[in-house]
Amino acid sequence: MIAPTLRVLALTTLLRTRILPVDGRVLARPGQKVSPADVIAEAVVGQKHIILDIASELGIPAAKADALLKVKRGQKISKGEALGESGGIFGREALSPLEGWVVATGGGKVVLETGGAPLSIRAGLGGVVTQVVENRGVTIRASGALVQGAWGNGKIDSGILASLIESPDDTLEPARLDVSQRGSMILGGHVSELKVLQNAAELLVRGLILSSLSPNLVSAAYQAPYPILLLEGFGKRPMGAQAYKLLTTNLKREVSLNAEVSNRMKGTRPEVFITLPVTQEPPEPRDVETFAPGQTVRICWLARPAQIGMLTQLQLESPPFPGDFSASSVRISGTSAQVRLESGEMVLAPLSNLETLG
């Protein structure tokens, strides 16, 4: 069975593609070094398209109008600029009613693209551009530390990592946020109060990396002007030991936080990446993992949130459900696994509630 994998890696090599939603202009080139804040592509979105009948404006047949056009595809046009001219003593001009771009011509007509809002895509992490996707974006290769999470609010930014967490089961209180964290990327524990998110916005923080969040704050988290990543998800959950150790040992480094929405079909997760200097490029993580004895796994079950152990055996027997692994006689059909927790305790867990770490 293919295993969902949560990456918590002290040193790895990544390939990340940054793509515009529509065609635009790519500003980076292959081999170029980029930093997280560098704009690598830009476009205009939300445009309107207007068909201008140049032949009618000039009072001539459509078949003759194309030869009299003064513009071509891809040309930027100002309001009032001549699009076509019939010539002669009593010649006529067809003027553009709006500013825009010529996207098509033919049949005595000009299609003008106008309006819209500018959109810029930033690199999101420090690395080297390895490939350019024509008119859309780039692929970036980078080496460093990677920590993936369970949920993100869809935003992206980078900043210097500052810690407001003292233990994996810590709670981030509003009073702990002060001016000393202004403009920082904050590492914190569980958040249960809206005031934390509001204070973070007032301090212009670059992002929040949290262990967990109260479910009633989901809407506010989506509306926050900065990225929010939950390493463990919703409800009061402690931060995983591996993620806690890796992040707290990289304080005061610049980190890239991509809080993209998790999508198992695409294989994407929200993640924190810390670019690190290397003398030799580390290997890339495997694309696909299957469950096998000897793997380090993480339990995704409310009864044992974020507990980590070693998979010792695969079997067809299913554990009790719902509740704790040994508290109910209700069972479901499916493959399960014996897992030895870090405490030494042996538990039986369904594979659907496990993910590999690596």
Burial of 29 (0-12, 13-18, 19+ CB in 10 A): exposed
Question: CA torsion angle for 339, 342, 343, 345 (degrees, to 10)?
Answer: 10
CA dist 298 → 5, 141, 200, 291 (Å): 9, 28, 30, 12
Spatial contact of 263 and 280, defined as CB atoms under 8 Å apart: no
Task: Tabulate helix, strand, coil % of the chain (nearest 5).
Answer: 15, 45, 45
C-alpha neighbours within 13 Å on the C-beta side of residue 39: 9
Q: Which fold has domain 47-114?
A: OB fold (Dihydrolipoamide Acetyltransferase, E2P) (2.40.50)
Spatial contact of 83 and 52, defined as CB atoms under 8 Å apart: yes
Q: How many residues does the chain have?
A: 358
pTM of the model: 0.77
The correct answer on CATH 3.40.50.720 for the domain covering 291-357 is no
Q: Three-state SS for 184?
A: coil
Q: Three-state SS for 68?
A: helix
Domain boundaries, the chain: 2-42+124-275, 47-114, 291-357
Q: What is the pLDDT of residue 333?
A: 55
Spatial contact of 125 and 14, defined as CB atoms under 8 Å apart: yes
Spatial contact of 162 and 188, defined as CB atoms under 8 Å apart: no
Spatial contact of 349 and 303, defined as CB atoms under 8 Å apart: no
- For the structural domain made of 2-42+124-275, what CATH number should be given? 3.50.30.10
Q: What is the pLDDT of residue 332?
A: 52
Give 222-257 as a DSSP string.
HH-SS-EEEEEEESS-PPPHHHHHHHHTTTTSEEEE
Residues 175-216: tens digit of each pLDDT: 999 999 999 999 999 999 999 999 999 999 999 999 999 999
Q: What is the pLDDT of residue 19?
A: 94
Q: What is the pLDDT of residue 327?
A: 46
Q: What is the pLDDT of residue 128?
A: 96
Q: Which of 330, 329, 334, 326 is nearest to 350 (CA)?
A: 334
Cα distance between residue 99 and residue 85, in whole Å:
18
Under-50 pLDDT residues of the chain: 322-323, 327-329
Spatial contact of 275 and 142, defined as CB atoms under 8 Å apart: yes
